[in-house]
Amino acid sequence: MAWRGVVDEFRGRLSRLPADAPAITLLEGDTPLIPAPRLGARIGARLYLKFEGMNPTGSFKDRGMCVAVSGAVATGASAVVCASTGNTSASAAAYACRAGLRCGVVIPDGNIALGKLAQALIHGATVIPIEGNFDDALTIARKLGELESVALVNSVNPLRIEGQKTVAFEIIDALGRVPDVHVMPVGNAGNITAAWLGYTEAVEAYETAGLDGPDRPAMWGAQAAGAAPIVRGEAVASPQTIATAIRIGNPASWQGALDARDSSGGTIESVTDAEILAAYRLLADTEGVFCEPASAAGVALLLQKAGRGEVPADAVIVATLTGHGLKDPDRVVQEIAVPDAVAPDLEVVAERLGL
Ligand code: AN7
C-alpha cells in the first residue's frame, strides 16, 4: 500500500492529536536509512544515516509540522506562527498553505540559509526578520501564539514532538532492532526529546520485545561549540556558529534533552565549526550524502569520540541527518572555489580534467 504520510500512518500512536483532526500532509516520513560503510569504518561502528533531508521541504521538521498543522485546523486556528532558524519556517509555510491557513514567521535577520528563506517566501508566509537572534524571535512567537485563533507551531507545541517521535518507529522497523546509539544535532532540543519519546513508547508497546540489541539506544547530542548551552549548563547570550540552524542559546526543550541524555545513559557534547565542516564534507565526498552543516554535527561528534576511543566497537549507530544540503548552497562555495571558465575547446577541457 502506498505511503500515506506521518499523520495517517501513525495516527493510532499520536495520542495528543484530536481524533477528528484532518490529515494535512505532503506525504512526509518514510525517509531512507542509508548504510554508511566508509564513515562507519573510520568510526569503528556499523553506521546508518537517517536522511531526514528527504522529507518534502527538506528537513525533519515536516514530521512534526504535519501533526501540528493538522491539530491547528482541528482547533479552528486561522493562522500559524513560529520563530525559526530557517527549517521550521520553511515547513510551517508549506503546511500552512496546504491547510489554507495564514503563516507568520519571525527569523533572525541575516542568519537564515538562503534556501530556507526562499521556501518561506514562495509558500506565501509573511516573513518578519528581526534585529535579534532565534531566542529573541521565540519570545515574540510565544506571545503571538497566545492570540485568539493563532497556533504556535514551534516544538514547544506538543503536537510537533508527537510527530517527530515517529522517526524512532521507522528506525526500529528498518533495522529490525533498536540501535545501540542514536546521535543528532541539538539546537532547540525538540528533536532529541521527540526521538527519545518514540523509543520509550516503542518499548512500552512491547514492539521491541525479543529483538536483538538494547531496549533503547543511548541518545547522543551534538551542539556547536559557540552555541552549546546544554553542554555548558547555562544559556548563551550571543550564540555563534556557521551551522545557523542550531545557532540557539536558550533551548526551549532543555529539560527534555537532559532527560533523554540521562535516562538513556547518553551524552551531549560540543563540536567546533571546523569539526562540523569536516564531517559535512566527509558525508558528501565519501558517502555521497549531502546534508546541511548543522546536520553534520552528530557525525562530527562520532568522529571526535572515535578519536578518544569512546565509540563502542561494532556498535549499531544511527545518525539523524536533519536537513538537506541544498538548503545552504552558499556554504559549499565558501568552502570550495568554483573553477574559472576556460575556452570551449576540447584540448583545454581535457587538460583541465587531467585526461
Ligand atoms: C537542520 O528551524 O530550530 O534541537 O527554527 O534546522 O529540535 O531544535 C531548527 C533546528 C538540527 C536542531 N538540524 O533541532 C528552526 C530550528 C537542523 C535544524 C536542528 C535544526 P532541535
Antiparallel, parallel or unpaired: β 316-321 and 181-185: parallel
pLDDT at residue 210 above 90?
A: no
For ligand 1, the distance from its centroid to the CA atom of residue 221, given in whole angstroms, is 12
Degrees, nearest 5: CA angle 25-31-36: 165
Q: What is the pLDDT of residues 62-100, one digit of tens each?
A: 999 999 999 999 999 999 999 999 999 999 999 999 999
Lowest mean pLDDT among 93-107, 154-168, 173-187, 199-213: 199-213
- Report percent pLDDT > 90 for the chain: 97
pLDDT at residue 312 in the model: 97
180 within 8 A of 241, measured Cβ to Cβ: no
pLDDT in tens, 151-162: 999 999 999 999
Q: What is the DSSP string of 238-285?
A: S---S-GGG--SS-TTHHHHHHHHHHHT-EEEEE-HHHHHHHHHHHHH
Is the shortest distance between the CB of 137 and ligand 1 below 6 Å?
no
CA-to-CA distance for 321 and 323, rounded, in angstroms?
A: 6
Q: Residue 176 is inside which H or E element, if any? A: none
Find cell 527534555 and name the residue. Answer: 256
User: Is 164 near ligand 1, meaning CB less than 6 Å away?
Assistant: no
Beta partners for residue 324, in sequence order:
291
Q: What is the mean pLDDT of residues 55-65?
A: 98
pLDDT at 208: 86
Q: Give the model confidence (pLDDT) of 231-266 as tens digits.
A: 999 999 999 999 999 999 999 999 999 999 999 999
Residue to probe by mutation, ligand 1, list 63, 65, 82, 85, most atoms within 8 Å of CB: 85
127: which residues sit within 8 A by CB, 6+ positions away?
89, 105, 107, 117, 120, 121
Work out the average pLDDT over 142-170.
Answer: 98
Strand bridging mode 79-83 / 150-152: parallel
Full-model pTM:
0.97
* Cα of 61 from ligand 1 centre, angstroms: 8
The pLDDT score that the predictor gives to residue 335 is 96
180 SS3 class? coil
